[in-house]
Chain A
Amino acid sequence: MNFLSVYPRLLRWALQALLTLSLLSLISCQQLNSPGVGDNSGSATGQPFYQEVLTTLLTSDEVVPAMPPVHPVRTVYNREAIIPPQCYTRTEGKHNPCYVCHQDQLPERENTMNDRDLQEAYSFSDLGMTNHWQNLFEDRSQRVANISDEEIMQWVDQDNYSRLAERLRVSGYQGWIPDLAELQEGTAAFDHEGFAKDGSLWVAFNYKPFPGTFWPTNGSTDDVMIRLSKPYRTAPNGEYSRDIYKANLAIVEANIKGLSSIDSLPINEQRVGADLDGDGKLSITTHITKMDDYVGAAAGYFIEPSIYPKDTEFLHTVRYLGFDENGEITGSRRMKEVRYMKKWQTYPRFVLAQLYLEESYEKELGQLPGFANLHHYGLDNGMGWAIQGYIEGKSGELRANTYEENLFCMGCHGSIGSTIDKTFSFGRKIDGGKGWGYINLKGMPDAPNRGESVGEIATYLTRVGGGGEFRSNPEMVARWFKPDGTVDVEKMRSKDVYQLTVPSRERALMLNKAYRVIVDDQDFIFGRDATVTAPPNVYDKVDNEKSPTLPDVAQYNWDIRLDWQATGIVVGTKLNLNEAMAKK
Chain B
Amino acid sequence: MYPSSFVGGLSLLIVLKFSVVGWRQGVYRQIFAHIQGLEIFSMRFKVASIAGGVALAVSQLAQAGTAPFFNPLTQSSAVATPNHINELNSPWQVPAGISQVKLTSMSEIEADIEQSVVRVPGLSRGATMWDMVAFDDEGENIFIPHETFVGAGATRYNIEEDKAVTIFAGDMGGLDGSWAEDWGAFDPATYTPNGTVFLGEEWSGEGRIMEILNPHDDPEDIKYRELQTIANVSHEGLRFSRNAKTLYYVDEWNSGSIYKIVFKDKYDYTKGGQTFVLKVKDYDGVPSDNWNDPSNADAVRTGKAKWVPLTNKKGKPLTSVDPFMNGPTNDPRTNDDTRGGRPAADEVGATPYGRPEDMEVGVLANGNEVIYFAATSEKTIYSIEERRGRNAYVRVFASEDATPKNVGFAPTTGVINSPDNLAQDALGNIYIIEDAPNGSDVGGDIWFVRDENGDGEAESVDHFMSIQVDGAEATGMIFNPAKPTQFVVAVQHPDSTDLDAVPGGHGDALWMFDLKDVVPPPCEKTVRPWHAAKYNRGIKTCSYTDDFNFVYALKRAGLYY
Contact = CB atoms under 8 A, between A and B. Distances in A.
B358 to A, nearest CB: 15
A373 interface: yes
B171 to A, nearest CB: 15
A353 B437 contact: no
A71 B469 CA distance: 10
Nearest to B84: A71
B500 interface: yes
Given A344-B124, A351-B149, A373 B203 contact: no
A71 B377 contact: no
A310 B329 CA distance: 25
Contact of A372 (B79, B80, B471): B471
A344 B127 CA distance: 13
A350 B124 contact: no
Contacts of A372: 124-125, 439, 471, 495, 498, 501
Given A354-B329, A367-B418, A375-B501, A361 B149 contact: no
A368 B440 contact: yes
The interface residues of chain A, by DSSP majority, are classed as loop
A13 interface: no
A93 interface: no
Interface size class of A (residues with CB under 8 A): 20 to 34
A380 interface: yes
A49 to B, nearest CB: 10
A373 B470 contact: yes
A365 B377 contact: yes
A71 B80 contact: yes
B149 A373 contact: no
Contacts of A357: 203
Nearest to B503: A174
Contact of A351 (B82, B204, B377, B441): B204
A171 B299 CA distance: 60
Interface in A369-387: 369-375, 377, 380
A73 B418 contact: no
Interface size class of B (residues with CB under 8 A): 35 or more
B417 A365 contact: yes
The interface residues of chain B, by DSSP majority, are classed as loop
Contact of A367 (B175, B417, B500, B501): B417
A545 interface: no
Contacts of B119: none
Interface in B486-545: 495, 498, 500-502
B439 to A, nearest CB: 2
Nearest to A310: B122
A347 interface: yes
B538 to A, nearest CB: 52
A11 B376 CA distance: 59
B550 to A, nearest CB: 41
A346 B175 CA distance: 10
B376 A353 contact: no
B379 interface: yes
Contact of A345 (B124, B330, B437, B438): B124
Interface string A59-78: 00000000000111110000
Contacts of A375: 501-502
Given A361-B355, A364-B377, A71 B501 contact: no
A373 B495 contact: yes
Contact of B439 (A344, A350, A351, A369): A369
B203 A354 contact: yes
A348 B177 CA distance: 9
Contacts of A367: 417-418, 436, 440
A572 to B, nearest CB: 33
Nearest to B501: A374
A42 to B, nearest CB: 8
Nearest to B379: A365
B204 A344 contact: no
A71 B79 contact: yes
B215 to A, nearest CB: 28
B440 A370 contact: yes
Contact of A373 (B126, B328, B417, B471): B471
B175 A71 contact: no
Given A371-B439, A372-B439, A348 B175 contact: yes
Contact of B78 (A74, A344, A364, A368): A74
B402 interface: no
B81 interface: yes
B149 A370 contact: no
Contacts of B300: none
Interface string A292-322: 0000000000100000001000000000000
Interface in B405-442: 417-418, 436-441
A370 B203 contact: no
A74 B122 contact: no
A377 B501 contact: yes
Contacts of A369: 439
Name, among A346, A348, A351, the residue most crowded by chain B CB atoms within 10 Å (CB to CB): A351
Nearest to A374: B501
Contacts of A344: 122, 124, 500
Contacts of B495: 372-373
A39 B79 CA distance: 13
A473 B174 CA distance: 51
B27 interface: no
Contacts of B441: 39, 70-74
B330 A73 contact: no
A331 to B, nearest CB: 33
B20 interface: no
A368 to B, nearest CB: 7
Nearest to A71: B441
A321 B254 CA distance: 49
Nearest to A303: B176
A347 B149 contact: yes
Nearest to A348: B175
Nearest to A39: B441
B159 interface: no
Contacts of B500: 344, 374, 377
Interface in B273-296: 292
B124 A380 contact: yes
B439 A361 contact: no
Contacts of B377: 361, 364-365
Given A351-B149, A371-B439, A372-B471, A345 B79 contact: no
Contacts of B123: 345
Nearest to B80: A71
Name, among B176, B203, B441, B495, the residue most crowded by chain A CB atoms within 10 Å (CB to CB): B441
A48 to B, nearest CB: 13
Nearest to A370: B439
A345 B122 contact: yes
Contacts of B177: 348
Name, among B377, B379, B501, the residue most crowded by chain A CB atoms within 10 Å (CB to CB): B501
A374 B377 CA distance: 28
Name, among A41, A366, A372, the residue most crowded by chain B CB atoms within 10 Å (CB to CB): A372
A372 B502 CA distance: 12
B291 to A, nearest CB: 10
Contact of B418 (A71, A302, A354, A365): A365
Contacts of B470: 71, 373
A347 B203 CA distance: 14
A345 B149 CA distance: 12
Given A310-B122, A366-B417, A375-B502, 6 more contacts: A74-B78, A365-B376, A367-B418, A372-B125, A372-B495, A373-B501
26 contacts: A70-B78, A71-B79, A73-B79, A73-B440, A74-B78, A345-B123, A347-B149, A348-B175, A350-B204, A350-B328, A351-B204, A361-B254, A361-B376, A364-B254, A364-B377, A365-B376, A365-B418, A367-B418, A370-B440, A373-B470, A373-B495, A373-B501, A374-B498, A374-B501, A375-B502, A380-B124
The 9 closest A-B pairs by CB, nearest first: A370-B439, A73-B441, A71-B441, A374-B501, A370-B440, A354-B203, A371-B439, A351-B149, A71-B79
Interface of A: 39, 41, 70-74, 302, 310, 344-348, 350-351, 353-354, 357, 361, 364-375, 377, 380
